[in-house]
C-alpha cells in the first residue's frame, strides 16, 4: 500500500523526469542560476540510507534480508558469559558491538521517525525504518538482563583491530562487558533508555505490546543510571580508545529524562529536566557539536519545542534558557554567532568540526536544523541570532545545502553516501564490504590473510556498502578514496541514522514544489 503511494509520487523525483532537464538547464543558464545538476533524488537516497543498516547487522539474518552479501555472524555472542547477546549492530567497519554509539543510532532513527513518520511512509520506507530500529531495540532488550545490569560491549577493539576478516569468519575475542551497580555507567544507561523510550513512541500504534515493553526497559535503565552514577568508560575501560565518554553522563541523563517525558507524558521526567537544567549543564553548555558523545544540542532543541505548548508555561523560564542554548547551536551552524564561536566550513561550504569522521557532525547538524526549522514554521517564529533574525526557510535551505554536498554538490563531485549516483567511494574501510562475499565464497579467510590480500588490494571493494555515509573530506574538501584512510573512508551507523528524517523532509518538499509548479525553473533548487 505504501509502496503504491510511493510509486505514484516517484515521478516527482527530479532525476526521473529527464525530459524537463534540458529546458531547466537552458532557463537556468539564461538566468545565470548555477548548476542545473542540483536536483537530487532524495527518494533514492532515503531508500539507500535504510538499506545500510542491513549491512551492519550482527546475529542471525532474517529471510527478508536485502543485503545479500552478508550472512549470519556472532552467533555465540554472550555464550561464555551465559547470556544471549546475539544480534545488534556493528558500529562501523569492524566487528565490535559498542553499546553507546548503537544506542545513539537507534535514538536518532527513532527521532527521525517520530518527526517525519508521514513523509517516510509516503516514500514507502516506514517498514524498513521500523525494522532498522527494532534490530537495535531487540538487542537492547536482551542486553538489559536485570534492572541494574546492562551489557555494554561485545568484542574488544584491540584484538578486533588485529584482524581483517569477514564477520561470518570472525575468530577474534567475543568477550562481553557489562555495567551494574558496582560498575556504573550512567551515560550508557541513559542513552539506551533514551533509545528505548524514543522507539516506544515509534511502535506505539502498530505494536503496543512491544512499545510498552520498550518503555518498561527505558524507565528501569533511567533509574539505574540515575541512582548509580558514573561514567561507563571507568567501568568498561576497553571502550576508552574507541568511544570514551569525555563529556560525562549528565547530558545523557537529561536526554533520557526528556525522551521518557515525551514517551509517557509523566510530569516527574519533565521536572527532572527542569530541576537539573543548571546543575547538569543543560542550560550552561553552549556547544557546537551534536554526536553519540555530546547530547546537549539535541536536548536543547527538544526542550525548546516544549515551549510551544501551553501546559509547559510554568516551566517557561527554564525552557527559555534551554532554547537560548539551542539557538546558539543553530546560529553557530549558520555562521551567525557574533559573540561566540561558529562551526568552521570548508571552501565548498561543508560544516567542519574535526578531521576524523567529520560527516557525523554534518548529518546531526542537518537533522537538528531541519527539526528546528519545522518548529519555527509551525509556531510562526524566527530564529534570533546575534547576526540577525533568521527565517525557517533559510535554516532549511542550509540543511539542504549540507545534504546536497553529501550527495555530490561538492568540489570532488563525489557522493559521500555510498552507492548513490555514479561517483562514490569504492574503497570504504569496512571488513565485510572489502572481502569477497561469504555467500559467494565460503572458504575461511583468516585474520592476517585478510590484511595481506583484501585490505591492501588497490581494487574497489567487491561489495558496495550502499547507504553508508563515510567520514568524508578534509578542511579543504579533499578526499582520498583509500581503504587505509579510515578517517575519511570509514562509515558509521550514527552517520547515516540522522539522514533518514532529513531526506524524508527534503523529498516531501521536492514533491510539493513539483505538484504546485510543475514547470518552474526554480524547481531545480528543490
Ligand atoms: C558582544 O559582546 C560585547 C561585549 O560583551 C557587547 O558589548 C556587545 O553588545 C555584544 N554584541 C552582541 C551583538 O550581542
Ligand atoms: C567537478 O565538476 C565540475 C563541473 O562539471 C568540473 O569543472 C570539475 O573539474 C569537477 N571536479 C573534479 C574534481 O572532478
What is the rounded CA–CA span in Å between residue 379 and residue 400? Answer: 21
Residues with Cβ within 8 Å of residue 92, at least 6 apart in sequence: 430, 490, 491, 492, 493
Of 6-10, 220-224, 285-289, the least confident? 6-10
User: What residues are in contact with ligand 1 under a 6 Å CB criterion?
Assistant: 338-339, 386
Domains of the chain, CATH where assigned: 2-516 (1.50.10.10)
**Residue 515's pLDDT band (cuts 50, 70, 90):** confident
**Percentage of the chain modeled with pLDDT above 90:** 86
What is the rounded CA–CA span in Å between residue 465 and residue 386? Answer: 42
Q: Does the pLDDT at position 7 exceed 50?
A: no
Instruction: Tell me which of 144, 315, 429, 430 is the catalytic residue.
Output: 429
> CB-based burial of residue 74 (10 Å sphere; 0-12 exposed, 13-18 middle, 19+ buried)?
buried
What is the dihedral angle through the alpha carbons of 38, 42, 43, 49, rounded to the nearest 10 degrees?
140
For ligand 2, whether the C-beta of 412 sits within 6 Å is yes
Of 8-17, 116-125, 232-241, the least confident? 8-17
Q: Grid coordinates standing for 394?
A: 533559510
Residues with Cβ within 8 Å of residue 247, at least 6 apart in sequence: 293, 294, 296
Name the residue with the closest Cα to ligand 1, atom 11: 339
Query: Is residue 49 within 8 Å of residue 496, measured between CB atoms?
Result: yes
Which DSSP state fits 89?
B
**Residue 38's pLDDT band (cuts 50, 70, 90):** low
What is the rounded CA–CA span in Å between residue 195 and residue 312? Answer: 24
Ramachandran category for residue 414: left, alpha or beta (phi over 0 → left; psi -120 to 50 → alpha)? beta
Alpha carbon of 457 to ligand 1 centroid (Å): 56
Query: Is residue 492 within 8 Å of residue 360, measured between CB atoms?
Result: yes
Q: Does the pLDDT at position 523 exceed 60?
A: no
For residue 299, give the 3-state DSSP assignment. helix
Closest listed ligand to the CA of 338:
1
Query: Is residue 474 within 8 Å of residue 355, measured between CB atoms?
Result: yes
Alpha carbon of 328 to ligand 1 centroid (Å): 14
The atom of ligand 1 lying closest to the CA of 339 is: 1
* Section 303-313 average pLDDT: 95
Rounded (5°) CA angle 123-212-142? 90
For residue 93, give the 3-state DSSP assignment. coil
> pLDDT (tens digit, 9 = 90+) per residue, 425-450?
999 999 999 999 999 999 999 999 99
Supply the pLDDT for residue 448: 92
Name the residue with the closest Cα to ligand 2, atom 4: 413
Supply the pLDDT for residue 389: 96
Q: Hunting for cell 546475539 — which residue is that?
A: 86
* Section 97-115 average pLDDT: 98
Catalytic residue flag (residue 429): yes
Alpha carbon of 338 to ligand 1 centroid (Å): 8
Alpha carbon of 268 to ligand 1 centroid (Å): 38
Rounded (5°) CA angle 360-364-365? 115
| Ligand 2 mutation target, pool 413, 424, 425, 480, most atoms within 8 A of CB | 413
Supply the pLDDT for residue 267: 97
**Percentage of the chain modeled with pLDDT above 70:** 91
Strands 97-98 and 150-154: antiparallel
Supply the pLDDT for residue 367: 98
Supply the pLDDT for residue 290: 98
Of 175-184, 335-344, 479-488, the least confident? 335-344
Closest listed ligand to the CA of 479:
2
Rounded (5°) CA angle 405-409-414? 90
For residue 478, give the 3-state DSSP assignment. coil
For residue 115, give the 3-state DSSP assignment. helix
- For the entire predicted model, the pTM comes to 0.91
Supply the pLDDT for residue 516: 79
> pLDDT (tens digit, 9 = 90+) per residue, 170-190?
999 999 999 999 999 999 999
Query: Is residue 183 within 8 Å of residue 222, measured between CB atoms?
Result: no
Q: Grid coordinates standing for 430?
A: 569496512
Q: Grid coordinates standing for 287?
A: 556547544
* Section 132-150 average pLDDT: 98
* Section 191-205 average pLDDT: 98
The atom of ligand 1 lying closest to the CA of 387 is: 13
What number of residues does the chain have?
Answer: 526
**Residue 161's pLDDT band (cuts 50, 70, 90):** confident
Amino acid at each position: 500500500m505504501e509502496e503504491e503511494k510511493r510509486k505514484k509520487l516517484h515521478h516527482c523525483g527530479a532525476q526521473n523526469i529527464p525530459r524537463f532537464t534540458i529546458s531547466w538547464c537552458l532557463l537556468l543558464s539564461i538566468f545565470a542560476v548555477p548548476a542545473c545538476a542540483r536536483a537530487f533524488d532524495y527518494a533514492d537516497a532515503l531508500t539507500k540510507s535504510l538499506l545500510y543498516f542491513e549491512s551492519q547487522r550482527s546475529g542471525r539474518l532474517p529471510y527478508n534480508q536485502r543485503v545479500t552479501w552478508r550472512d549470519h555472524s556472532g552467533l555465540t555472542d554472550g555464550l561464555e558469559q551465559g547470556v544471549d547477546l546475539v544480534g545488534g549492530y556493528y558500529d562501523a567497519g569492524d566487528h565490535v558491538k559498542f553499546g553507546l554509539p548503537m544506542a545513539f543510532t537507534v535514538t536518532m532513527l527513532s527521532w527521525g521517525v517520530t518527526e517525519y513518520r508521514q513523509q517516510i511512509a509516503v516514500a514507502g520506507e516506514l517498514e524498513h525504518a521500523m525494522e532498522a530500529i527494532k534490530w537495535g531495540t531487540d538487542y537492547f532488550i536482551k542486553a538489559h538482563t536485570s534492572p541494574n545490569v546492562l551489557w555494554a560491549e561485545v568484542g574488544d577493539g584491540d584484538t578486533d583491530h588485529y584482524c581483517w576478516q569477514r564477520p561470518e569468519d570472525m575468530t577474534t575475542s567475543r568477550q562481553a562487558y557489562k555495567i551494574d551497580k558496582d560498575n556504573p555507567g550512567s551515560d550508557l544507561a541513559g542513552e539506551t533508555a533514551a533509545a528505548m523510550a524514543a522507539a516506544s513512541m515509534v511502535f506505539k500504534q502498530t505494536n503496543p505490546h512491544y512499545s510498552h515493553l520498550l518503555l518498561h526497559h527505558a524507565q528501569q535503565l533511567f533509574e539505574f543510571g540515575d541512582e548509580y552514577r558514573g561514567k561507563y568508560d571507568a567501568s568498561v575501560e576497553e571502550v576508552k580508545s574507541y568511544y570514551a565518554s569525555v563529556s560525562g553522563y549528565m547530558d545523557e541523563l537529561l536526554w533520557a529524562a526528556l525522551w521518557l517525558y515525551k514517551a509517557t507524558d509523566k510530569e516527574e521526567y519533565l521536572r527532572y529536566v527542569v530541576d537539573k537544567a543548571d546543575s547538569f549543564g543543560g542550560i550552561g553548555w553552549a556547544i557546537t557539536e551534536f554526536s553519540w558523545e555530546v547530547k546537549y544540542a539535541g536536548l536543547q532543541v527538544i526542550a525548546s519545542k516544549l515551549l510551544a505548548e501551553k501546559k509547559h508555561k510554568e516551566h517557561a523560564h527554564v525552557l527559555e534558557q534551554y532554547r537560548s542554548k539551542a539557538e546558539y547551536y543553530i546560529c553557530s551552524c549558520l555562521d551567525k554567532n557574533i559573540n561566540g564561536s561558529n562551526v568552521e566550513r570548508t571552501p565548498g561550504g561543508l560544516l567542519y568540526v574535526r578531521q576524523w569522521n567529520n560527516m557525523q557532525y554534518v548529518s546531526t547538524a542537518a537533522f537538528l536544523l531541519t527539526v528546528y526549522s519545522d518548529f519555527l514554521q509551525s509556531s510562526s517564529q524566527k530564529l534570533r541570532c546575534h547576526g540577525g533574525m533568521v527565517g525557517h526557510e533559510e535554516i532549511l535551505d542550509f540543511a539542504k545545502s549540507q545534504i546536497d554536498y553529501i550527495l555530490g554538490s561538492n568540489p570532488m563531485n563525489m557522493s559521500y553516501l555510498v552507492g548513490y549516483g555514479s561517483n562514490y567511494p569504492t574503497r570504504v574501510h569496512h571488513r565485510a564490504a572489502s572481502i569477497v562475499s561469504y555467500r559467494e565464497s565460503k572458504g575461511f579467510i583468516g585474520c592476517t590473510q585478510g590484511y595481506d590480500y583484501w585490505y591492501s588490494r588497490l581494487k574497489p571493494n567487491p561489495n558496495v556498502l550502499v547507504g553508508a555515509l563515510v567520514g568524508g573530506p578534509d578542511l579543504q574538501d579533499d578526499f582520498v578514496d583509500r581503504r587505509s584512510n579510515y578517517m575519511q573512508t570509514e562509515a558509521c551507523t550514527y552517520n547515516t541514522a540522522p539522514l533518514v528524517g532529513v531526506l524524508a523532509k527534503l523529498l516531501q518538499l521536492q514533491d510539493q514544489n513539483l505538484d504546485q509548479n510543475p514547470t518552474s525553473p526554480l524547481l531545480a533548487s528543490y
